[in-house]
Amino acid sequence: MLDADGDEIVEIRADYLVNEDPAESEYVGESSHRTFIIGTGKMAFVMLLGIFIPLFLALGLVRDETENGTLHYLLSKPIHRAEFILYRLLGYLLLAGTYILVLVLLMALITSLIGPGESLIRLSDFPVWLGIGLATVLVLAAYGALYNTLGMVFPKYGVYMCIVIGVWEFVMGMFTMTLPSATVPMLSISHWALQMIDAIVLIAWPNTLQYSQMAEAFGFDSPLPFFWQPPVHTLETQSPVVALIVSMVVLMAVTLGMIVIGQSSFKNREIM
C-alpha cells in the first residue's frame, strides 16, 4: 500500500489469492544478515563497548592524576587547565576510537565475505559498519566527557554515579529499540546513538523498511523488526539524512557541554 502521494510504501498486505510470496530462503538469508549487523552494532558496539570503555578509561583521566600526586607536575608546564582536560580527552578518544575503527573494519570484512549474495564481497555492508563505528565514537566522546566530569566533581562517589548512569543508559537503549518514539529514552545518550544507526541503515539499505514489513505481512520469523525501526527524529521530513544529522548534533552538543562543565569545575579547583 502506498501513501497518499503514491511515493512511499507504508504497508505490505499479503494477497492469499495470488502466489506473490517472496522466496522465503532468500528473504531469511538477507534479513538474518542485516539483523546480525544491526544487532551487533547496537548491542555490542554502542550499548556495551560504548558505555563501558569510558567507564574504565575516561573516569580517571584527571581524577587519577590528582590521587597519584602527579597533577602538580603536569600543570607546572605552560598549559592552561582547560586545555589539559581537552588534551586528555582527545588522547583517550584517539586510543578508544582507533580500537573501535579496527574492530569495525574487521567485522565489515567478515560479514561482507560470508553474507548472502552472488558477489564475492558485499560492499553495501561497509557503509553500515562505518556508520556504526561513527556512532560508537560519538558515544565514546559523550560518555568520556560525562564520566571524566563526574570523576572530577565527585572524586569519592563519581565511580558509583557512572555505574548507575551506565545501567540507565543500557536500559534506555533497550527501550529505544522497542519504543523509539518514547519520550523518556530521549534523555539518554544511547537513544541518539541507536537512532543514528537506524538512519544509517536506511540510507545504506533503503529497502530495509520493506524487509521489516514483509516479516509481519508474510509471517516470517525474523528479529529484524525488533532490532531496527525507522528513525523518528526526522523533523517531519521522513528523511533518514535529517535524522542522522539531528542525532549527531545532539551527541556532539552533550559532549561539548560536559567538556565545558568539566573545564569550569577544574579551573576553579584548588589542587591539593
Tell me what pLDDT residue 210 has.
87
Here the contacts of 81-88 (C-beta below 8 Å, separation 24 or greater) are 81/263, 81/266, 81/267, 82/263, 82/266, 82/267, 84/266, 85/61, 85/148, 85/259, 85/262, 85/263, 85/266, 86/259, 86/263, 88/61, 88/62, 88/148
Where do the structural domains in the chain lie, given as residue ranges? Answer: 24-267
Tell me what pLDDT residue 216 has.
72
Q: Which residues contact 232 (CB under 8 A, 6 or more apart)?
A: 180, 181, 195, 243
Question: Consecutive 10-residue runs of the chain (272 residues): their mean pLDDT?
Answer: 56 55 71 93 95 83 54 54 79 93 96 86 93 96 91 82 93 93 94 97 92 76 87 93 97 94 72 50
Please state the pTM of the whole predicted model: 0.84
Tell me what pLDDT residue 267 has.
67
Measure the CA angle with vertex 141, ends 234 and 198; round to 5°: 30
Residues 25, 31, 37, 39, CA torsion sign: negative
Do 134 and 196 contact (CB within 8 A), yes or no?
A: yes
Q: Cell numbers 557541554 label which residue? A: 257
Tell me what pLDDT residue 39 has.
95
